[in-house]
Amino acid sequence: MTARSARWNALWQRLGATPSDDALTALERQYSAPGRHYHTLGHLDAVLASFDELRHLAPNPDLAELALWLHDVVWEPMAADNEEQSIAWARDHLPALRALGALNSLILETRHRAAPSVDPDAAVVRDADLSILAADEGGYDAYEQAIRAEYAMLPTAQFRAGRARILADFASRRPLFFTPVMQSREPRARANLARAMARLED
């Protein structure tokens, strides 16, 4: 049994539900689909590691964790409804989720639309998913390279314009993060964003 499968099984045991035998295999297949360079199993594992630092802040930690397992299970670079499609995938592959109605709203939080206030579970989910913004320079630069690879179908000028808008939106947010743990790392995230935006302008 891998560490990932052990974690998956332990989560469902705490939730008091049983997924189908092939649910994790199907989920891992989704995260391993061709064309993914950042939204991969590596991203999933990193987000769950970040979540472990924030878990104590979530009133419903198991539900928040499950949302992070599922948030990018469907991901198409040019689609605007990946989170909604991930919810639909989860309903198809995890019938036990019918008893977990609050899960949908947590998955939708990973759209990262601006929000002046969020509930504690949502704050943890959002910050875990965006923890890459506060990585060290090497880790952050690798993230930007992987995002560019996922959008390789776009001409350079089009990609740069779109990416600049996204990064500027994050840079304009006060706060950028919602939990004390991640707010302490906000200066590093802002430095990463500023460096990335400067490169896009070159």
Residues 120-173 pLDDT 10s: 999 999 999 999 999 999 999 999 999 999 999 999 999 999 999 999 999 999
Q: What is the pTM of this model?
A: 0.95
What is residue 118's predicted lDDT score, i.e. its pLDDT?
A: 78
What is residue 116's predicted lDDT score, i.e. its pLDDT?
A: 63
What is residue 174's predicted lDDT score, i.e. its pLDDT?
A: 93
What is residue 100's predicted lDDT score, i.e. its pLDDT?
A: 67
Q: How many CB atoms lie within 10 A of CB 166?
A: 14
Domain count for the chain: 1
Low-confidence ranges of the chain (pLDDT < 70): 98-100, 116
Structural domain for 101, as ranges: 3-201
With beta carbons less than 8 A apart as the criterion, state whether 15 and 62 touch.
yes
What is residue 199's predicted lDDT score, i.e. its pLDDT?
A: 96
* Cα separation, 154 vs 163, whole angstroms: 11
